[in-house]
Each structure stands twice: as structure tokens, then as C-alpha cells.
Structure 1
Amino acid sequence: MLYKFKSRAAADLIMLEPQGRQVVTIMGKTPGASGIVTAAQIPAAIAALESAVASEEAQQASADAVGEDEASAEDRAEAVRLRQRVAPLIDMLKRSAAADVDVVWGV
């Protein structure tokens, strides 16, 4: 299943179901077949996504400071970070806020 985010201010954005569910939850919405982030809710959604990214990066820095073994460090280096996953969605949200339009999703 795919999550397809749409806005009149940006190109469509498609995510696989686990990642789509994760970002929808981070934005404070209930994951499901469809939903909406209204123009008024966009600033809070952006703040929530940016906060989640900062939290993940802080956890990563903490794990690095503890000195986990090299194998797990290599695995983390190859992993796609939350920052990379949400960057296109944050861009869509910012464009939508500037145009004062909603962002919707469907599966």
C-alpha cells in the first residue's frame, strides 16, 4: 500500500505505507485511507516533523557517543534517515502554507 500526498501548491508525493503511516502519526493525524492537513494546521505539522528529525538525530549522536560497534555503525550509515524521508513532505507543506492550500493524502 502507498500513501499519496497531494497539494495544489506542489507535485504529488508518494511514500510506502510504513513511512507514510509514520509521518502522518508524527504530524498528529490518524493514519488511514485518507486524511487532510488544513492550511491552518500546516505550521504545527512542520514543527512536529522537524522536532522528530531533531530527536532522531540526538538519539543517533548519543548512540555514537556511547561507541556502538562498527557493524551497527555501518548499518546506520546506510540507513535512510527520517530527515531524508520527510524533507520532500516538509517542502510540500511549506509551499502549501505559502499558497494557503490544504495537503491531503490517500492510499
Structure 2
Amino acid sequence: MTFKFKSQATSDILMLSAHAQALLQHIGKSSDAKGILTPEEMPAALNALKSLAGEEPSAEPPASRDKQDDQPDEVAVDLRRRAWPLIQMIETAQAAKEPIVWGV
């Protein structure tokens, strides 16, 4: 199952329910099927998401693998990296003074 985050200021973001629920709980929101993040709540949400432990997201592509290496990547994606699109959405929506909603 997926969550769809929407805002008038940005494109929609689709996220797996487990990841979306973990991020919503981290910012103090209910992980119910429907919700809203108002512009007034966004500074606290940004601080909470940016304080997540993990590696800093990077725009650089991962190093290329050897083509003969058939082993799958075993690098787990931490919650901080999964939060990055939501962080960008919140920053854009906050600048435009638009809320973010999900489940509607």
C-alpha cells in the first residue's frame, strides 16, 4: 500500500505505507489514512526530519558496479534518505504557504 502526499506547490510524492508512517510518526503526526501538515507546522517537521540519523543524501550517482558482479546491492536505504523527497516538498510548500495533505 502507498501514501500519496499532495500540495498545490509541488508534484505529488508516492511512498510505501511503512516508510510514510514512520516519517509521519517522527514529525508527530498521526499515521492515519488522511491528514494535513499546515504551513505553521512545517518548521518543526523539517527540524524533526533533518535530525534523523543516517547518511546525508547526495545528488551524486552511486559508483558503477563491475558488470560481472551478479551479487545484489546489500546497501539498505535509511529513513533519512527516504525522508529527502518529503523534506524538499515541505520546504517548497512552506515557501508557498501551502499545506501538504495525504489520503484525500
Q: What TM-score do you get using the length of structure 2 for normalisation? A: 0.77
Q: Which runs of 5+ in 1 are unaligned?
A: 59-76
Give the structure with the larger helix fraction. Answer: 1
Question: What CA RMSD, in Å, does the superposition of the two structures yield over aligned residues?
Answer: 1.6
Divergent runs of 4+, >3 A: none
Q: How many residues align?
A: 86
Equivalent residue number for residue 26 of structure 1: 26
Residue 17 of structure 1 and its aligned partner are, at CA, apart by: 0.8
Q: Who is 1:65 aligned against?
A: none
The answer for unaligned runs of 5 or more in structure 2 is 56-73
Identity level (%): 42
User: Can you list the C-alpha shifts for 1:18-68, whole angstroms capped at 9, x where unaligned?
Assistant: 0010011111001111000001100110011111x2xx239xxxxxxxxxx
- Give the TM-score, by structure 1 length: 0.75
* Match of residue 87, structure 2, among 86, 90, 94: 90
